[in-house]
């Protein structure tokens, strides 16, 4: 994989393989769930019948970071746990993405002033997707996952070093819910 990520300029062979890899990766984003707090339960709801993340190939929550692509941080990171999060992140193979789920993982949330908490996951790790909420609704996380999936599929992996984070809006405009619902094939109100 390093051949493509580390190549600075695209050429015919690399771009063809890159497109194939992007397609494959976007359909198999496997999780590493570092369940540090209660948002993890909302994530668990995404595995259930209603949201069913298996339908986009993201249903596998691996026990080992070495088999996963997306590190989910569903809660605050204590200062004591921060080195362990970094270690888990370092154990994941490239390319890898990080989702900060919920207020605590974004900014520290209710624990921001605490003596034992870091102020957001991005003080420790490079975060790709910020999903706000307290707790995050499964739809919002699904939306963040869809955006990440589009990013993985649409962005060339050649010269992968620089990535801009994705911000899911905190007050949800009607469009995105419709977008998720359309994707889920669900017509009743969420």
Partner 1 sequence: MTVDLEAVAAAHSGRVDREGLDPAIVVPRETWRQLAQALSEAGVWFSDLTCVDRGETVEVVAQVCASASEQITLKTVLPNRDLTVDSLWPVWPGMDWLEREAYDMFGVSFVGHPDLTRILMFDGFEGYPLRKSFLLETEEKAS
Residues in touch with partner 1 (CB under 8 A): 79-80, 113-116
Helix (H/G/I), strand (E/B), else coil: 18: helix
Of 33, 106, 32, 45, the residue nearest 76 (C-alpha): 106
CA distance 94 to 69: 8
Q: How far is the CB of 37 from partner 1 (least distance, A)?
A: 17
Q: How far is the CB of 16 from partner 1 (least distance, A)?
A: 49
Q: How far is the CB of 79 from partner 1 (least distance, A)?
A: 7
For the chain, the straight-line distance linking the first and the last C-alpha, in angstroms and rounded, comes to 40
Q: How far is the CB of 13 from partner 1 (least distance, A)?
A: 49
Query: Please, what's the largest Cα pairwise distance for the chain?
Result: 53
Q: How far is the CB of 88 from partner 1 (least distance, A)?
A: 17
3-state secondary structure 164-182: CCEECCCCCCHHHHHHHHH
CA distance 116 to 75: 14
Q: How far is the CB of 105 from partner 1 (least distance, A)?
A: 18
Helix (H/G/I), strand (E/B), else coil: 59: coil
For residues 69, 106, 51 and 56, what is the CA-based torsion angle, rounded to 10 degrees? -30
Other CB atoms within a 10 A radius of the CB of residue 138 amount to: 22
Q: Give whichever of 114 and 155 is closer to partner 1, judged by the CB atom.
A: 114
């Amino acid at each position: 994989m390093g051949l493509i990520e580390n190549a600075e300029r695209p050429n015919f062979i690399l771009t063809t393989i890159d497109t194939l890899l992007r397609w494959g990766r976007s359909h198999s984003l496997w999780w590493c769930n570092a369940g540090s707090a209660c948002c993890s339960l909302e994530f668990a709801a995404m595995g259930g019948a209603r949201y069913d993340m298996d339908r986009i190939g993201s249903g596998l929550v691996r026990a080992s970071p070495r088999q996963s692509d997306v590190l989910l941080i569903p809660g605050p990171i204590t200062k004591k746990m921060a080195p362990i999060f970094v270690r888990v992140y370092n154990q994941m193979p490239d390319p890898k993405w990080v989702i900060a789920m919920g207020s605590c993982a974004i900014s520290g949330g209710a624990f921001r002033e605490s003596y034992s908490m870091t102020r957001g996951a991005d003080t420790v790790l490079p975060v790709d997707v910020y999903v706000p909420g307290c707790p995050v609704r499964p739809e919002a996380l699904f939306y963040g996952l869809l955006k990440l999936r589009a990013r993985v599929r649409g962005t060339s992996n050649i010269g992968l070093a620089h990535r801009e984070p994705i911000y899911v809006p905190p007050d949800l405009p009607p469009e995105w819910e419709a977008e998720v619902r359309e994707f889920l094939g669900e017509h009743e109100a969420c």
